[in-house]
């Protein structure tokens, strides 16, 4: 009887693991079908820029619509400030310039040094969720230290970080409006963590997408009912209100996503109620 129960448990666990993997295997097979594109030296920069613009577009549309629809204005964190086309275009042009002139050469060197390997088997879902979560926590810590340092050291602020603080009221396209050294530094943090954890390429792609989305949401200027900080309990995640206040007040809320480092270092400020 004991053997039968044990066998049933083992069989159940095996089936669960197979189901978890099967959930992502269809997706991974679809991705691997584009192997020629993914192994191209152009893929990383195209992936990054396309994802960034795709995540920015809904907020760009919201910026134009909310000036005409009063019901949308209540979600604007700073309702007195709306970006104009003249503010958006330079941000877009700078992003294109940075991706072409700086990010592409760096990703090309990475492609040359470490060619992409696409395993046949997809990762298991729990492993993906765990590693994406760990990558986000590591990135949050690294960026917090980098950010705090670049605010506390005047030379670093003026030379590297000041560009990003041009806009006191943020909008989606200000996410990557920064000096090239800031963009490359944060890109390095985002790339090194999946490498150190030995993440599956699919896990790495999912992390990059989540990281880009959360960064855009942070700078969107909107506190929507489905915003990430409303989904994470106990105020552990700051989100757009948390980061918007950093741009407004300048000397607090240095962590990009979570709030624990700001609380521990005494740099946390409560965000605007909405």
List, for residues 123-172, the tens digit of each pLDDT value. 999 999 999 999 999 999 999 999 999 999 999 999 999 999 999 999 99
Mean pLDDT (the chain) is 91
pLDDT of residue 9: 43
pLDDT of residue 11: 43
Read off the pLDDT of each residue in 21-50 and give the average, rounded to a whole number: 92
Query: 71 pLDDT band (50/70/90 cuts)?
Result: confident
Q: Please check whether residue 169 is in contact with residue 247, taking contact to mean a CB–CB distance below 8 angstroms.
A: yes
Q: CB of 120 within 8 A of CB of 16?
A: no
Report the alpha-carbon angle 79-85-88, nearest 5. Answer: 85
**Mean pLDDT of the region 227-247:** 95
Res 67: pLDDT? 84
């Amino acid at each position: 009887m004991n053997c039968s129960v044990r066998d049933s448990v083992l069989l159940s666990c095996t089936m669960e693991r197979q189901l978890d993997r099967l959930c992502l295997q269809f997706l991974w097979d679809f991705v691997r079908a584009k192997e020629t594109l993914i192994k191209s030296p152009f893929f990383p920069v195209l992936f990054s820029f396309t994802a960034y613009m795709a995540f920015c577009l809904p907020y760009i549309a919201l910026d134009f619509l909310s000036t005409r629809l009063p019901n949308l204005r209540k979600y604007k964190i700073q309702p007195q400030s709306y970006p104009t086309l003249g503010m958006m275009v330079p941000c877009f042009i700078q992003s294109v310039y940075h991706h072409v002139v700086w990010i592409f050469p760096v990703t090309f060197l990475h492609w040359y040094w470490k060619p992409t390997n696409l395993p046949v088997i997809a990762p298991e879902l729990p492993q993906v969720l765990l590693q994406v979560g760990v990558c986000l926590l590591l990135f949050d810590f690294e960026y917090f230290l980098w950010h705090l340092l670049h605010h506390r050291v005047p030379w670093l602020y003026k030379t590297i970080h000041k560009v990003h603080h041009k806009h006191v009221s943020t909008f989606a396209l200000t996410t990557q409006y920064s000096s090239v050294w800031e963009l490359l530094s944060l890109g390095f943090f985002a790339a090194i963590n999946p490498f150190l954890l030995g993440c599956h390429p699919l896990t790495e792609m999912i992390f990059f997408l989540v990281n880009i989305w959360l960064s855009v949401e942070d700078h969107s200027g909107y506190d929507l009912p489905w915003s990430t900080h409303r989904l994470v309990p106990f105020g552990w995640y700051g989100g757009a209100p948390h980061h918007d206040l950093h741009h407004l007040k300048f000397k607090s809320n240095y962590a990009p996503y979570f709030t624990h480092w700001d609380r521990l270092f005494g740099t946390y400020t409560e965000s605007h109620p909405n």
